[in-house]
Amino acid sequence: MTLLTIVPAAGVALPVEPFVGRHLIAGAWRDSASGETYERTSPAHGALVSRSALGAEADAEAAILAARAAFASGVWSRALGKDRAAVLLKVADLIEANVERMALIETLESGKPITQSRGEVSGAADLWRYAAALARTRHGESHNTLGDDMLGVVVKEPIGVVSVITPWNFPFWILSQKLPFALAAGCTAVVKPSEMTPSTTVILGELLIEAGLPAGVVNIVLGYGPAVGSLMTTHAAVDMVTFTGSTMVGKAIAGAASKTLKKVALELGGKNPQVIFPDADLDSAADAVTFGVYFNTGQCCNSGSRIIVHEDIADALVEKVVDLSKHVAFGDPLDPRTQVGAIITSQHQGKIDDYVRAAVKAGAEIALGGGPLLVPGLDGQFYQPTIVRGVTPEMAIAREEVFGPVLSVLTFRTMDEAVALTNDATYGLSAGVWSENVHTCLEFSRRAEAGTVWTNTWMDGFPELTFGGVKQSGQGREIGSYGLDEFLEVKTLVMRIGRTRAPWVKKL
């Protein structure tokens, strides 16, 4: 019988000195006004990775005012589309030139496998290129059918100063889903990365300067949400907040931003089902289910954390997924063979385990895993690939984001049941359907309450295809042309041509 596939410590030498991160405000690198710093330890190795300035309100205030001043100056907001595009393209080239450096620090801070970090950083360059294309091609509309003496023009303008707040699970990728689109629109920004994964955002700051982005257009403040992020959501000089993270914080941000009626774009959690019909290609489905639940250690808004499988094929499918799971390489993220790395913090590892224990207590069965994983030679926290069967819809493990490598298995008999189980969720981020019958796939896709539905695949994404959630998975859209529109305000210009209008005032 195959046991789990564990990759022990790779023996790669870790950086001797931690990466030092400071705030970027008005084009200058600054320590915190308080002089305080904080440290990040690698979740896989237990080693010091970075030391960052610990921001507070004074630093956030300075960054917001710098972004406001840069916006008002017009140096970026009124720049030509082609000039904005040129800078974004240069940034993309610089990202590609820095993949190794950025991937290493991303892996050390987040615990994700090095091959995945390389893919994310180089893939993010393509998001910057796509946004550059939009910077010079997106336009408004004209109305030439309002009468001989009228012309209507709807123009798109940058919304203003944008607060960009990002999480730890895909630090550089999520930043690149937001920032180049905001910049393509002509906005200026204040960015706050998660305090656990700040360093690739700081490196991006270096690349933005090198690419020639004017000072103050992008400002970066490091530190915790309550101290830095909250001012970014309430300050009168901020016009919009774009946030990715937990639904709980997303709701708090929407509430805080409502006091000044800022626009808010939220990309929140998901409880994303893959639904497998009896005529599906079971081998492909099993592989996609395995990928969907373990990718990024399940710490992924798009995690395929529950499957809803037809009861006739449930045993066969689960058997395949259990077998495949044993071949997924868990372990040292610095080893290029590793497919699944560490859990972000020990507290989060405890939360994952609590979900599994509660499900077992409520009558579910463990088909694989179900506890912490020891990786020889490493001090960090890892969790076993875990499959939980006999899950019922009311269990927390079936309804809430576990954010770990844990799959819940539910079953159905009819299309109506499959759709009902899919939609029985507060979330609506993504869903997947597996069937060889196009009618089955289309019916499911149209009835599923989700921002994205994948058919016979899972988690494929492209800069061209917009992304976002319905229900409590968020509001607004990222990437694609809609991703640019989020950062644009529309203004209507109504123009009379000639003096043809009869006067309103009639002199009696």
Binding site for ligand NDP (CB under 6 A): 165-169, 192, 194-195, 224-226, 229-230, 233, 244-246, 249, 252-253, 268-269, 301, 348, 401, 403
Q: Compare residues 77 and 247 and give the one whose CB is closer to ligand NDP.
A: 247
CA nearest 360: which of 348, 370, 350?
A: 370
Please, which residue, 88 or 352, has the CB nearer to ligand NDP? 352
The tokens describing 455, both together, are 């058919």
- 12 DSSP 8-state letter: P
If the CB atoms of residues 186 and 269 are measured against ligand NDP, the closer one turns out to be: 269
Say how far apart CA 429 and CA 271 lie, in whole Å. 7
CA angle 277, 278, 281 (to 5 degrees): 85
Q: How far apart are the C-alpha atoms of 75 and 215, rounded to whole Å? A: 9
In sequence order, the β-bridge partners of residue 368 are 387
Residues 348/48, Cβ–Cβ less than 8 Å: no
CA-based nearest residue to 298, from 367, 369, 227, 366: 369
Q: Which residues contact 106 (CB under 8 A, 6 or more apart)?
A: 112, 117, 120, 121, 171, 172, 197, 199, 200
Q: How far is the CB of 91 from ligand NDP (least distance, A)?
A: 22
Q: How far is the CB of 239 from ligand NDP (least distance, A)?
A: 16
Smallest gap, in angstroms, from Cβ of residue 129 to ligand NDP?
A: 24
Listed in sequence order, the DSSP H helices in 53-170 are 57-73, 81-97, 99-110, 114-135
Q: Which residue has the tokens 């030439």?
A: 144
The Cα–Cα gap between 191 and 121 comes to 18
* Closer residue to ligand NDP, CB minimum distance, 245 or 463: 245
Which residues are annotated as catalytic?
267, 301
CB 118 to ligand NDP: min, Å? 21
Closest to ligand NDP by CB, 274 vs 299, is 299
Half-sphere exposure of 178 (CA within 13 A, CB side): 30
Beta carbon nearer to ligand NDP, 161 or 165: 165
SS3 454: strand
Residues contacting 220, CB < 8 A, separation 6+: 23, 24, 25, 63, 190, 191, 192, 193, 201, 202, 205
Q: How far is the CB of 491 from ligand NDP (least distance, A)?
A: 29
Cα dihedral 256, 200, 209, 245, rounded to 10, equals -20
CB of 82 to ligand NDP, least distance (A): 33
- Sequence-distant (6+) residues with CB within 8 A of 35 are none
Give the nearest distance from C-beta 156 to ligand NDP in angstroms: 28
- Cβ-based nearer residue to ligand NDP, 233 or 338: 233
Task: Return the half-sphere exposure (C-beta side, CA atoms, 13 A cut-off) of residue 214.
Answer: 20
Of the pair 301, 356, the CB lying nearest ligand NDP is at 301
| Least distance CB 429 / ligand NDP (angstroms) | 8
Residue 63 CA, distance from chain mean position: 23
Q: What does the alpha-carbon distance between residue 306 and residue 486 come to, in Å, rounded to a whole number?
A: 31
